[in-house]
Amino acid sequence: MNETMVCVVGNVATRPVYREMASGPAARFRIAVTSRYWDREKSAWADGHTNFFTVWANRQLATNAAASLSVGEPVIVQGRLKVRSETREGQQGWMSADIDAVSIGHDLARGTAAFRRAQRPERAPTPERPEPNWESEPENSATADGTAPQQHPEPAAVT
């Protein structure tokens, strides 16, 4: 509920690794995010520090990311930031910053992409239902005794 949502822009640093898990498909890759700043002394843009994040994708996003991403491509990743720290006996402690991806896409400010919808498995056909009669009787029609005809609403099919 109170999770830290981030949006990072960077380059794919490692080939996506795809796995079929018991909970469904999963993929992970590293993204390199380098800050840029204007160096007044050189009058040119310069690269700053590079941060690396491990991006985790699940289900259909994992399948599509593994099929679409290559090392070096510019991407935009939106997701939940998870910072983990761990210490092991006899080893130095380490920290990692992971992103549980909600959305991944190519950065169109730095190139072009050709989007293709993922193929979905076919759904079972739904049984046909008769179309309800939506037309109403004309307002000036009356029965033989001069009263307006009684109208019964037809059931509408909900799809």
| CA–CA gap between residue 16 and residue 155 (Å, rounded) | 52
Query: Is 150 a residue whose pLDDT tops 70?
Result: no
| CA–CA gap between residue 104 and residue 31 (Å, rounded) | 11
Residues sharing a CB contact under 8 Å with residue 16, sequence separation 6 or more, in sequence order: 27, 28, 29, 65, 66, 69
Q: What is the pLDDT of residue 124?
A: 64
Q: What is the pLDDT of residues 96-126, one digit of tens each?
A: 899 999 999 999 999 888 888 877 666 666 6
Q: What is the pLDDT of residues 5-36, one digit of tens each?
A: 999 999 999 999 999 989 899 999 999 999 98
Q: Which of 88-97, 111-120, 150-159 has the lowest mean pLDDT?
A: 150-159
3-state SS, residue 119: coil
Helix or strand holding residue 67 (H, E) = helix 59-68
Q: What is the pLDDT of residue 100?
A: 96
- For residues 121-133, give the mean pLDDT: 67
Q: How confident is the model at residue 91 (pLDDT cuts 50, 70, 90)?
A: confident
| CA–CA gap between residue 43 and residue 26 (Å, rounded) | 44
First to last CA, the chain: 33
Q: What is the pLDDT of residue 92?
A: 85
C-alpha gyration radius of the chain? 29
Q: What is the pLDDT of residues 25-69, one digit of tens each?
A: 999 999 999 998 999 998 999 989 999 999 999 999 999 999 999
pTM of the model: 0.68
Q: What is the pLDDT of residue 13?
A: 95
Cα-based torsion angle of the residue sequence 127, 130, 134, 137 in order, rounded to the nearest 10 degrees: -170
Q: Using CA of residue 38, residue 42, residue 44, residue 49, what is the dihedral sign?
A: negative
Q: Is 52 exposed, middle or buried (0-12, 13-18, 19+ CB in 10 A)?
A: middle
